[in-house]
Each structure stands twice: as C-alpha cells, then as structure tokens.
Amino acid sequence: MKEKIVLVTGANKGIGFGIAKHLGLSGWQVVVGARDEKRAEEAIGQLRSAGVDVLGWVSIELRDLGSIEQAARVIGEKYAGLALLVNNAGIPGDMSVDSLHTELSDIRETLDVNFVGTFALTKALLPLLTKNGGRIVNVTVPSEISPYWHPLAYVASKAAQNAMMGVMAIEFEQSNTPVEVFSVHPGPTTTDLNGNMALPGFHDIETVGQKTAELINDGQNHQGEFIELYPIVKED
C-alpha cells in the first residue's frame, strides 16, 4: 500500500495547522514544517490530541537556502515515502502601506521567502516526489489584482508563485513527470498573517483546513489548476 506522508510548511499555526489537522484526520501521516522548535512541538501536541498521526517535524527557514537543503536531506532520510508537499508557509510583507510607500527591502524579503524559498524547497523535494508519484499544492492568492485588497509585496510574491505552478504543470505534462501541481486560494481567512482580521465573508482555519483537505482527497487530477475555495468578493 502506498504511503500517505505529507509535509505541510508553516503547519504550526493558521491555515497550515488547519490543513495538517484535516489531512491527518483523513488518513495522511503528517510532517510539520516550521521555523521554531517550541511552536512546532506545541502544534504536534495539539494535532496528536486531535487524533492526527504526526511523524515529526522538520526545521525549515524559507529565507535560508542552507536550511532548505538540510530540510530536504532530513526528509529524504526519515520520510522517504513523502507523497504530498503543501507549500503554505509565507510572510505577509508590510500590508499597511500602498505601493509608493513600499520599501524595496520589504519587496526583496517577501519575494525571498514566498517565492524563492518556496521554489527552492519544491525543487529540492522534487526527486522524492517524482519517485513517489506525488503532488505539490501551493496555498496562494490570485494573480489578478483585487481593488479591495492588494498589498504589493505579498501579491507580487504570490503571483510569482502562481507562475511557478503554471510553468511546472506544463513541463510535468510535456516530460511525462509523474507529479501533479496545483494552487489553492483559501479566500479571506482569519489568521495571524492579517492580524486576525474577521470581517464579513471571512472564514476560520477549521473551515478552510477541512475544505482544502477534501479538495486534495477528491481523487481528481488538478494539474495546473488555480482553485478558489472562497473567492474575494465585495461586501455590500
């Protein structure tokens, strides 16, 4: 029987925790990707209390290519059955300023984590995922600019991530690489990333985690798709 091991980055809190929880409750063995050992261990305790089979945690700092390389080595040695990578971890950038007041350092840092780091981790784990006929799921936002919410550093970093997904999907199909990649936009969700904003139309991490897990487990091929769970809409 094929192993069902998933690595969820940023699984110690927020949407990543919700996805890890509900994938675990549906039969996946979970590896927590996190930056901080204390937070990782706390999340593991909560997940196990909920009935999730957590195999352990891996230290991943997406702004540090050395950390990513080390994480890939550990995963290859300890979790060789990895069949699913959920790229969830990321930083918000400065969401309080408009584009003209966005610092170049903020653009660089947000791109380094959300795009460069995510790409580096995906690339490092691709041989293992290819061997296991695995999947890559990116948690992202639309590339199309919403008039209601558009922090430049964050949106730009996710647009680059969306381009990565689209290019990889085409290349996987052209080269007959047995890996599926697609993106999920959870929609407005109350998390630390947005200061626990809770406006009309927002959802909680339980709802988003469960719906994402159902999508991943639906048995369909979503190669190259951008799937919105809850699209951003204007509130009356």
Q: How does pLDDT run across 3-39, given as a tens digit for each residue?
A: 799 999 999 999 999 999 999 999 999 999 999 999 9
Higher pLDDT, 205 or 137: 137
Residue labelled with tokens 């969306």: 162
What is the chain's length?
236
Q: How confident is the model at residue 236 (pLDDT cuts 50, 70, 90)?
A: very low
- What confidence tens digit (pLDDT) does each residue in 167-210 have? 999 999 999 999 999 999 987 654 555 445 444 455 677 889 99
Asked if residue 33 lies in contact with residue 7, where contact means CB atoms within 8 angstroms, the answer is yes
Residue predicted with more confidence, 214 or 229: 214
Distance separating alpha carbons of residues 10 and 142, to the nearest angstrom: 20
Residue 221 has a pLDDT of 97
User: Is residue 154 flagged as an active site residue?
Assistant: yes
* Contacts of 192 by beta carbon, 8 Å cutoff, 6+ apart: 13, 14
Rounded to 5 degrees, φ, ψ at 231 are: -60, 150
DSSP annotation of 116: I
What does the pLDDT read at residue 202?
58
Q: Name residue, tokens 């984590």.
A: 113
pLDDT band for position 231 (50/70/90)? low
Please give the Cα distance from 30 to 11 (Å, whole number).
9
- The pLDDT, as a whole number, for residue 200 is 46
What DSSP line would sit under 42-56, residue for residue?
HHHHHHHHTT--EEE
The DSSP call for residue 1 is -
Q: Report the percentage of the chain scoring pLDDT > 70.
A: 89
Average pLDDT across the chain, whole number: 91
Could you report the per-residue pLDDT of 145-157, keeping only the tens digit for each?
888 778 999 999 9
Q: Would you say the C-alpha torsion 23, 35, 91, 76 has a positive or negative sign?
A: negative
pTM for the full model? 0.91
Residue recorded with tokens 């891996």: 58
Question: Is the separation of the CB atoms in 15 and 209 below 8 Å?
Answer: yes
Query: Which residues contact residue 25 at a Cβ distance below 8 angstroms, ignoring those fewer than 6 apart?
Result: 50, 51, 52, 213
Residue that the structure tokens 């190669």 belong to:
223
- 15: tokens are 């949407």
